Structure 1
Amino acid sequence: MTREPPGGAGDGSAEVPYMSLLNLPLSSDLDRIAEQMHALAQAQLRLQGLLEAVLSITGELELPAVLRRIVRTAMDLSGARYGALGVLDEEGEFLAEFVPLGLNSQELANLSGVELPRGRGLLGHLIHHPEPLRVAEIADHPQSAGFPPGHPPMHSLLGVAISVRGRVYGNIYLCDREDGRPFDHHDEGVILALAGTAGVAIENARLYQQERAGAEHFQRLLLPRLLEVSPFEARTIYRPAASPGHLGGDWYDAVKLPDGSCSAIIGDVVGHDLNAAAAMSQIRGMLRALSFGESTSPSYALTGLDRIAHMTDERLFTTACVARFEPAGEGGWTLRWSNAGHPPPLLVLPDATTRYLDAEPGLPLGVDPDAARPDHTCALPGGSTVVFYTDGLVERRDEPLDRGLEALATTVARHAGGSLDQLRDALVADRPGDGHDDMAVLLLRTPEHP
């Protein structure tokens, strides 16, 4: 008796491949699966982009930069050509600020002189109805108010409200996708998620501003009110560091003495906290008192301060420079100064010549109370200016200090012929430092005649 080979007609196994083919999905099913896979990939890309956007926005603390970052991120996530963020006024009725992005130079020029939107038309509709708004053709919407002359044509719109602590802060406006298609529900979902993150980022930036303003106000309360030093001229600058809640130990002081001399002081207690600020206030008061005597030399004042701090166990590391402008007769002045580890003052002569008074700096305060502190002298013609400053004015983390000193001398020389107000404004605008440390500056100009 013979057997049929496996797969023969007797056991029906030859029909299995044919039946399996019948069970495969049709081409329409394959197309649907491909579409679902593509949609899944797109969703994954959107999620990844949203996560990166969250990290980008929440890493910024300056409010203007936060608002621009939100708009730019919304444009990137939705592929929008134009974007803007409108900030509502206190009553929540109109736009108090408007941050537009995406306009090229020609479009900006065409809108020169045109008032920024206040919140009418579709923008006003979104203010009073803060639900997401998608419009395929702006001109066809019954609430559309049109565009002002010179405004570039815009068609599709996606608007989403931003809330901060349960109150509508403003709205994100996006116009015209780069691919020409109207905004869809995917765009709406991503921008809604972004708006939630934006609210947190805006609140963080506002708290940062409040904390920084409070710290700056407290710091300014500790700084001395300059007494009358006429006929000398004096101007001051104080700027806190960019770090939130930053308190510093920088200070300045100037005192007119009974004999016609003028004492100038600049100092910096190391540290950026309440301890440094409190120590600065104490040291400032003691050094003013020690410098007030007519026969007190700058070195004597610094030595006395160092010994008092040592005896009272207030030995915080401090740099300081004390100077005295004394009448020298024949229309000139003598500058005497002693330096305790502080950056050298910058001398500016009436002909705009500049040079640093970089004589031996001596040890900072708080190191050795018995260390010798020499006095240095320099003859000054009338109308000379001396710039006393802390290192926050010239210091950058990524550059050597010499480069900052060179930049400071260049700025001062360029504006030396103007008033002290002009020089002060130039230093604020062109300061070489990177803002990571607070800075104090004292500008003092001698009279033409003693």
Structure 2
Amino acid sequence: MRAVRPRWTSHRQDEEPGHGEADGVPEAEFAREVLRDLGAGVLTLDTAGRVTSVNPWAERLLGRSAREMAGQDAHDLLHRNADGSRVPRERCTLRRPLYQAPAEEGSEEYFLRADGTTVPIIWTTTPLIRNGRRAGLVVVFHDFTLHRSAVEDTAARTAALETLTTRLHLLAEVSTVLITTESTQGTIRRLLRLLVPELGQWAAVDVCSAQRDVLERVAVRSSEHPHRARRLRGPVTSLPEPARVAVNRLINGDRPVRLTGDELLHDPDEPLAATHRVLFERLGGHTAVAVPLRTRGRSYGILTVARTGDSPAHTDAETALLADIGRRVGLVMDNARLYHEQQNVAETMQRQLLTPLPQVNHVRMAARYWPAESAMEVGGDWYDAFLLGDGVMALVIGDVVGHDLKAAAHMAEVRNMLRALAWDHQEPPSLVMHRLDEAVTNTSDAPMATVVFARVEGPEGGPWQLHWVNAGHPPPLLVMRDGETRFLEGGHGPLIGMSATLRLGLDWPDAREDLPPESILLLYTDGLVESRARPIDLGMAKLRHHAGVLARRLAGRSIDDFCDELLARIAPRGDDVALLALGLPAAGVGAPGDTRPPPPDQSTCSPADPERAAPGSRMQEPEVLDTTHDEAEEV
């Protein structure tokens, strides 16, 4: 060390020879060597705070020589804020041990280098005591730059990781919302609840309508003005040519567009003002990001998210996140479009297969088809009724495995095969069922099916008899006028497609049952009596109970009223339901010589009931309540 004023140590006059030496090195020289190689800067100050000595390490850290610093006020020369400004003397913590504190340390101070830059230091100041009195202090300091950079870098990485985690969590919530099975508009409104105020103070979704120059604002949400936001939903008026071009460019592009409130509100030539000015006028905001809802080469609309007040404009990362959300929404809308297109094809196909029922003399029939609540809302359930060549009425109820368009196609195959076989072969139902099993196994790829095939035999006016077989299907229900009910358990055999396929050699026994006058015969599929929440035994008991009650209560009413009331009471959920009901007249009605007119069939129903326009058959769908509006009204 270069001792400007050599006051590091003093020698006592009464020291014995050898004392004050370390391995033959004088004590003063040893202290200088230690301070020179200490690896930290060391300053000594006198009681006035002036520099009295500097070690070489401090010279290197500060870029100043010991001679240059000697005698200078250490605070005025070195102590600075991070920006290089002076620290007021009364706030100098390094000088405190000169007066009262025994020692001080810290890591939030800066020293000024000779080149004008500041260096962050971690430091310790200790009083220098001589003869029991404070004679100055010692300042030991290190360059804190590397450590502070590491701490700041760690903090920055932690903050970035927290931001990324938050965005991934938001994206996961968005994905959960988008995979729900509710209506598209309901899904979009739930999505905006996540985006506001997480990514903006208001958000809106505009969807393309059938008209090229009209948008439908299906959802608007604002955290600051919720009531105003709800009033902004609805069609966006016809757009002028510049606005239409700008909208088409946006929704057909792949990149987000940044919007500013000043331009939209004050620039008459801004093309998107026609669609977005009203949003900024009513909801406020300084900036926004508009992203296209687009996928698979199709455009569906625009998602706009805005910032208001002191909130900063969207960062590039937030804009990229919104663009990704826009693509996901576009995919959901595209899937909904494909679903509805396929659904319409399937429903049209099934409606064509569920043909009108024949009405023979005084015997009346009614049928209902209740589609499933989920999946393709179409499946393998069907009913059928037709006159055979010998004048006998044939009744069919069946169910092919599956709930999609393929199941409907297989149902059509089995239905048409059974019709052809029943017409061509005037033979007992058991033989017809055997031929059907062989035909399905060898000429079709349809899976297994359950079927009841029956013949209603008897002269005009009765008595009538039911002759049937049952291939693994729920048993028909016979309902008498007085409310007595009975399941027809006979005629049971294997499912269609099982015996011939597995070469089991099984058969279907014929069964017969007298049909009392004014009774009702019900053929139905398992969706009427079975659900996830209810086993089939309880469902069949419920069917039997309600059918008996309605037979007494609706005596004299039409078979259609009976079917409607029965479905309303049971309210099936989940699976498809097909129901075929045969209502027999009183004894002797319709016999030769009877002049009483037959009851009107469904083709002559009053216009007040337009759903019964199709003669003898009606597609009955469950009531679906649109709750999306109610959801959007919640604040």
Counterpart for residue 373 of structure 1: 509
Check 1:280–1:196 CA distance in 2 against 1; reply closer, same or farther (3 A cut).
closer
Q: Secondary structure at the match of 1:434?
A: coil
Give the letter aligned to residue 197 of structure 2. Answer: G
> Residues 110-152 of structure 1: CA distance to partner in whole angstroms, max 9, x if unpaired?
98xx895212599x899578454667799977857769xxxxx
Q: Secondary structure at the match of 2:338?
A: helix
Q: Does 1:391 align with 2:526?
A: yes
Check 1:7–1:410 CA distance in 2 against 1; reply closer, same or farther (3 A cut).
farther
Q: Within 1, Cα distance between the matches of 2:249 and 2:469?
A: 68
Q: Does 1:340 align with 2:340?
A: no
Q: Give structure 2 stretches of 5+ with no counterpart.
A: 1-23, 43-60, 62-120, 123-141, 251-255, 268-272, 591-635
Counterpart for residue 73 of structure 1: 191
> Residues 172-227 of structure 1: CA distance to partner in whole angstroms, max 9, x if unpaired?
355789xx864740454432220022112222232233234334444555x36345
> Residues 320-357 of structure 1: CA distance to partner in whole angstroms, max 9, x if unpaired?
11223345787764444321210123444556665543
Give the letter aligned to residue 169 of structure 1. Answer: Y
> Residues 229-281 of structure 1: CA distance to partner in whole angstroms, max 9, x if unpaired?
3442332426378446x985443210135777532101234457888666644
Counterpart for residue 603 of structure 2: none
1:361 to 462, 483, 492: 492
Counterpart for residue 237 of structure 1: 369
Moved more, 394-403 or 87-96: 394-403
Give the letter aligned to residue 375 of structure 1. Answer: A
Q: How far is 1:88 from its partner? A: 1.5
Give the letter aligned to residue 398 of structure 2. Answer: G
2:355 to 204, 212, 225: 225
2:345 to 214, 217, 238: 214
Contact 1:138 1:155 in 2 (8 A): no
Larger radius of gyration: 2
Moved more, 298-307 or 138-147: 138-147
Counterpart for residue 170 of structure 1: 301
Counterpart for residue 572 of structure 2: 432
Q: Secondary structure at the match of 1:229?
A: coil
Q: Within 1, Cα distance between the matches of 2:27 and 2:570?
A: 98
Q: TM-score under structure 1 normalisation? A: 0.71
Q: Within 2, Cα distance between the matches of 1:28 and 1:191?
A: 35
Give the letter aligned to residue 193 of structure 2. Answer: M
Q: Within 2, Cα distance between the matches of 1:173 and 1:419?
A: 56
Contact 1:394 1:431 in 2 (8 A): no
Give the letter aligned to residue 73 of structure 1. Answer: L
Moved more, 199-208 or 4-13: 4-13
Check 1:353–1:141 CA distance in 2 against 1; reply closer, same or farther (3 A cut).
farther
Check 1:249–1:25 CA distance in 2 against 1; reply closer, same or farther (3 A cut).
same
Q: Within 2, Cα distance between the matches of 1:6 and 1:198?
A: 79
Contact 1:389 1:440 in 2 (8 A): yes
Moved more, 2-11 or 252-261: 2-11
Counterpart for residue 24 of structure 1: 144
Q: TM-score under structure 2 normalisation? A: 0.53
Q: Secondary structure at the match of 1:209?
A: helix
Moved more, 336-345 or 39-48: 39-48
Counterpart for residue 75 of structure 2: none
User: Identity rate of aligned residues, in percent?
Assistant: 27
2:218 to 98, 116, 124: 98
Q: Does 1:48 align with 2:183?
A: no
Contact 1:387 1:441 in 2 (8 A): yes
Q: How far is 1:411 from its partner? A: 6.9
Contact 1:75 1:82 in 2 (8 A): no
Contact 1:75 1:83 in 2 (8 A): no
Q: How far is 1:375 from its partner? A: 0.4
Contact 2:546 2:569 in 1 (8 A): no
Q: How far is 1:441 from its partner? A: 3.4
Give the letter aligned to residue 314 of structure 2. Answer: H
Contact 1:119 1:127 in 2 (8 A): no
Give the letter aligned to residue 394 of structure 2. Answer: S
Moved more, 395-404 or 202-211: 395-404
Counterpart for residue 321 of structure 1: 452
Check 1:278–1:181 CA distance in 2 against 1; reply closer, same or farther (3 A cut).
same
Q: How far is 1:300 from its partner? A: 4.4
> Residues 38-76 of structure 1: CA distance to partner in whole angstroms, max 9, x if unpaired?
64144212431254146436645x5x5444334423432
Contact 1:85 1:98 in 2 (8 A): yes
Q: Secondary structure at the match of 1:207?
A: helix
Check 1:424–1:13 CA distance in 2 against 1; reply closer, same or farther (3 A cut).
farther
Q: Within 2, Cα distance between the matches of 1:293 and 1:162?
A: 57
Counterpart for residue 445 of structure 1: 583
Contact 1:252 1:265 in 2 (8 A): yes
2:206 to 82, 86, 103: 86
Q: Within 2, Cα distance between the matches of 1:240 and 1:289?
A: 29
Q: Within 2, Cα distance between the matches of 1:127 and 1:233?
A: 56
Q: Does 1:401 align with 2:425?
A: no
Contact 2:213 2:238 in 1 (8 A): no
Q: Secondary structure at the match of 1:93?
A: coil
Counterpart for residue 198 of structure 1: 329
Check 1:10–1:279 CA distance in 2 against 1; reply closer, same or farther (3 A cut).
closer
Q: Give structure 1 stretches of 5+ with no counterpart.
A: 148-152
Q: Pairwise CA RMSD of aligned residues?
A: 5.1
Q: Which has the higher contact order (CA 8 A, sep 6+)?
A: 1
